[in-house]
Structure 1
Amino acid sequence: MLDLLIFVPACFALNLAFGPNNLLALTHAAQRGIAFAVWAGIGRLLVFIPMIALSALGLGVVLSASSLVFTLVKVLGAAYLIWLGWKLWKSSYKMKPGDLSQAAMSLRGAFRREGLVAVGNPKAILIFAAFFPQFVQVDSYFESYAFLGAVFLLLEAIAISLYAALGALAARAAASKLHWFQRASGLGMMLFGGLLLLTRRPA
């Protein structure tokens, strides 16, 4: 019980950390509303499930320890974030002030975008491979890993909802300046892509 009291707040802090996926939830909510952003965020959760399973099997440790694989995931993820950020930035110049309709995308596209951003971030692998094992019970390894994974996914869903609510609130508060919000989102994505390139594999 004591471990869980430590795990939940520490895990939720990781869930709430401002990163590319949470920026997407913010942007999607500003474009299409809270429900749209939450549904799109399921794409992120579905990607995390096999990543947690692979980490439980020990493959997460192998991936985080492999310099080649880590670098490949990092570069591909960074390239996708920079490309996505550039698209968001460019689309803002085609919008009229206060209108995000031209930048909005389908739910399927937003769903796929969330999943690709999640799988392209090696930090998620490190969380599942390095953070989870600190709280796993050895005598019931897979059961406790599955439980921790379920708690993580629940907290991640809450984080998605909170960022979606924040994005919708920002959209209502500054309806005439949403094209600037779109540019800021694009710039943020490109910045995250650059920072991802600087991520080092843990020793």
Structure 2
Amino acid sequence: MDLLTLLSLMIATFVYAISPGPGLFAVLAISTRFGPIPAIWVSIGHTVGDIIYVALAMLALNALAEVINESMLYVKILGASYLIFIGYQQFRSKGISFEPSSKKSSVIKLLIAGFVVGVTNPKTIIFYLSFLPIFIDLNNLTLNTEVQVIVSIGLTVFFVLSLANILGVRLRRYIENPDSIRKINQVTGVTMILVGVFVALY
């Protein structure tokens, strides 16, 4: 895969990923409330979800894609319920610290939350299935090309989510005081609930 094609693929992915969606909003909310490290775990989970769809698209598993679309309603309901539950917990939180948690269970929850946001968006698989053939020949894939595509798209998606993370950190500097914490909990909680509703309805 030549460099120009690879760069074109990354630009197309960047334009797609930067468009407002549940992934960006989720990372922004987590970053603002908990800081950059937890938001990174959410970003990683989301990126893994995207990579799975990229792999499916490159394998041209159209039949599997149809199966995914047929079962997506159930996946979306479960994923949306999980995200709404997280948002409800955050909305009711009375925490008084912006310090990010380093507990293993928290990391796992953040990874799962990011993964759910990424993998429950049906337009992702449709997008990759539709635009990947423009850049690569799915019928003559080599292992080297597959790795290049997965790494390139994965890094691009993670980079876009990192931009949302940075924005959340910058916002956090203006609101890091005890009087604002309850409002921040409510705002981020409502944001996560809305992300869950978006996932369920989109």
Please indicate the TM-score interval, normalised by the length of the shorter structure.
Answer: 0.7 to 0.9
Q: How far 1:183 sits from its partner (Å)?
A: 1.9
> How many residues of Structure 1 are paired with residues of Structure 2 in the alignment?
194
Q: 1:62: which partner in 2?
A: 63
Structure 2: 5+ residue stretches without partners: none
What letter is aligned with 2:24? Answer: N
TM-score (norm 1): 0.76
Q: Which moved more, 1:169-178 or 1:66-75?
A: 66-75
1:73 and 2:75 are equivalent in the alignment:
yes
Q: 2:125: which partner in 1?
A: 125
Q: 1:38: which partner in 2?
A: 40
Any conservation in 2 of the 1:30–1:168 contact (CA below 8 Å)? yes
Any conservation in 2 of the 1:82–1:193 contact (CA below 8 Å)? yes
CA distance in 2, matches of 1:42, 1:19: 16
Structure 1 residues 1-203: aligned runs within 5 Å = 3-4=5-6, 6-59=8-61, 61-66=62-67, 67-91=69-93, 94-96=94-96, 99-100=97-98, 106-138=106-138, 140-142=140-142, 143-176=144-177, 177-199=180-202
Q: Which moved more, 1:114-123 or 1:166-175?
A: 114-123
CA distance in 2, matches of 1:109, 1:198: 23
TM-score (norm 2): 0.76
Any conservation in 2 of the 1:38–1:164 contact (CA below 8 Å)? yes
The sequence identity of aligned pairs, in percent, is 26
CA pair 34-95 structure 1, distance change in 2 beyond 3 A: closer
Q: How far 1:171 sits from its partner (Å)?
A: 0.8
> What SS does the aligned partner of 1:18 have?
coil
